[in-house]
């Protein structure tokens, strides 16, 4: 009788312990189905910024033990839509993506919503009437970045009364950074009627296209160009090569302000060939993985997460270079 009683007490205790053990947060290292699966649709591989962004996401997923299905859209929205559909078919836990352009996402995001899969938008924004289609948007304030570039230029030219001719290299058309960086910059320079944008061309955030576009602009406007405003450092760096081949001194004959604050821009500022870069941080991986875990755990996250950034004029480039992480 005593043996039976002892057995009952022991087995009940054991049962109680196993069912009450605290569930550790999913680290994903455990080889069991609870590990989180994230489907990420990247827009392409057009710039050093994008390379750093993709690396940050892959590394952060690995460190968080999150299974990552990563797709490169190769600068085509239809590829991103296909990737999102494959994530839905694979019943991933969360979908995240960096939208190449602002519009055209409602249909596929509704499919994700109907499948009960939460979506996090990173790096760029979308245009939609229905913001229930995504859980959160984490990206920089692109309009503010354009304004910062404009303010730096206005400050630099405050003693200059003559007409100043600006040429602009834009990122890929229809993307939120391109649209808003243009608007922000124009909002500031319109206060100075002597500063005018005389040419604005698309170079898709790419070094090679920045070179080609600047080559053409120099043929068109040559010695009339006083300032280059580039929506990212890569296009500015491509343009610098064209300016030098044309026989002018970038950073001196043509003032150059751009956005991203990548290492290449700091190196050009140290060489005296670029004058200012506005920071747009690509290292979103850890923040994204934390958001993914929170969403899976049912923890509310902010609808809009703004990534902060500073302004780096050439004067601080040398001391700042060692701190740059991308």
Q: Which residues of 309-321 are buried (b: 16+ CB within 10 A; e: fewer)?
A: bebbebeebeeee
Residues that bind ligand GZL (CB under 6 A): 46-47, 49-50, 123-124, 139-140, 177, 205, 232, 234, 259-260, 280
Name the minimum Å distance from CB 22 to ligand GZL: 39
Residues β-bridged to residue 41: 71, 97
Of all residues in this chain, which one has the CB nearest to ligand GZL in the complex? 49
Q: Contact 203/213 with Cβ under 8 angstroms?
A: yes
The encoded tokens of residue 179 equal 């649209």
In the complex, least distance from residue 231 CB atom to ligand GZL, rounded to whole angstroms: 7
Q: How far is the CB of 206 from ligand GZL (least distance, A)?
A: 8
> Do strands 276-279 and 311-313 pair parallel, antiparallel, or not at all (unpaired)?
antiparallel
Going 204 to 41 to 305 to 317, the CA torsion angle's sign is: negative
Q: Which is nearer to ligand GZL, 123 or 314 (CB)?
A: 123
- Residue 305: strand, helix, or coil: strand
3-state DSSP assignment of residue 112: helix
Query: C-alpha distances in angstroms, 305 versus 108, 120, 286?
Result: 23, 11, 13
Shortest distance (Å) from residue 46 CB to ligand GZL: 5
Residue 226 or 260 with smaller CB distance to ligand GZL: 260
Report the nearest approach of ligand GZL to the CB of residue 51 (Å): 9
Q: How far is the CB of 236 from ligand GZL (least distance, A)?
A: 10
Nearer to ligand GZL, 205 or 229 (CB): 205
As measured in angstroms, the least distance from the Cβ of 307 to ligand GZL is 8
Q: DSSP string covering 243-266, please? A: HHHHT--BTTTBEEEEEE--HHHH
- CB-wise, 87 or 205, nearer to ligand GZL? 205
Which is closer to ligand GZL, CB of 176 or CB of 275? 176
CA dist 36 → 29, 40, 203, 296 (Å): 10, 13, 38, 8
* Shortest spacing between CB 285 and ligand GZL, in angstroms: 14
Starting at the edge strand found earlier in the chain, the sheet holding 276-279 runs 195-202, 164-170, 227-230, 255-260, 276-279, 311-313
Contact 231, 186 (CB under 8 A): no
Q: Which is nearer to ligand GZL, 219 or 325 (CB)?
A: 325
CB of 28 or CB of 171, closer to ligand GZL: 171
Q: Which is nearer to ligand GZL, 66 or 280 (CB)?
A: 280
Q: Quick one: how far is CA 66 from the chain centroid?
A: 21
């Amino acid at each position: 009788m005593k043996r039976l009683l002892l057995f009952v007490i022991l087995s009940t205790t054991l049962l109680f312990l196993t069912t009450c053990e605290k569930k550790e947060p999913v680290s994903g290292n455990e080889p069991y189905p609870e590990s989180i699966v994230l489907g990420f649709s990247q827009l392409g591989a057009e710039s050093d910024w994008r390379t750093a962004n993709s690396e940050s996401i892959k590394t952060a997923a690995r460190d968080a033990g999150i299974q990552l299905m990563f797709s490169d859209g190769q600068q085509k929205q239809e590829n991103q839509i296909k990737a999102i559909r494959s994530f839905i078919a694979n019943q991933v836990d969360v979908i995240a993506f960096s939208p190449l352009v602002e519009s055209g996402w409602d249909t596929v995001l509704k499919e994700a919503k109907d499948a009960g899969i939460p979506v996090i938008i990173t790096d760029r924004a979308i245009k939609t009437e229905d913001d229930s289609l995504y859980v959160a948007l984490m990206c920089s304030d692109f309009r503010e970045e354009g304004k910062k570039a404009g303010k730096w230029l206005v400050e630099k030219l405050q003693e200059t009364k003559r007409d100043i001719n600006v040429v602009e290299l834009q990122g890929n058309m229809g993307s939120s950074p391109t649209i808003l960086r243009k608007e922000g910059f124009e909002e500031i320079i319109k206060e100075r009627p002597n500063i005018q944008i005389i040419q604005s061309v698309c170079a898709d955030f790419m070094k090679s296209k920045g070179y080609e576009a600047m080559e053409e602009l120099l043929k068109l406007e040559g010695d009339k160009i006083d300032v280059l405003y580039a929506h990212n450092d890569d296009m500015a760096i491509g343009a610098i090569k064209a300016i030098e081949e044309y026989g002018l001194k970038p950073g001196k004959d043509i003032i150059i302000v751009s956005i991203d604050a990548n290492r290449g821009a700091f190196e050009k500022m140290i060489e005296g060939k670029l004058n200012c870069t506005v920071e747009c941080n690509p290292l979103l991986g850890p923040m994204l993985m934390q958001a993914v875990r929170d969403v899976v755990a049912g923890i509310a996250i902010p609808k809009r997460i703004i990534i902060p950034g500073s302004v780096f004029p050439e004067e601080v480039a040398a001391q700042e270079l060692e701190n740059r992480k991308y």
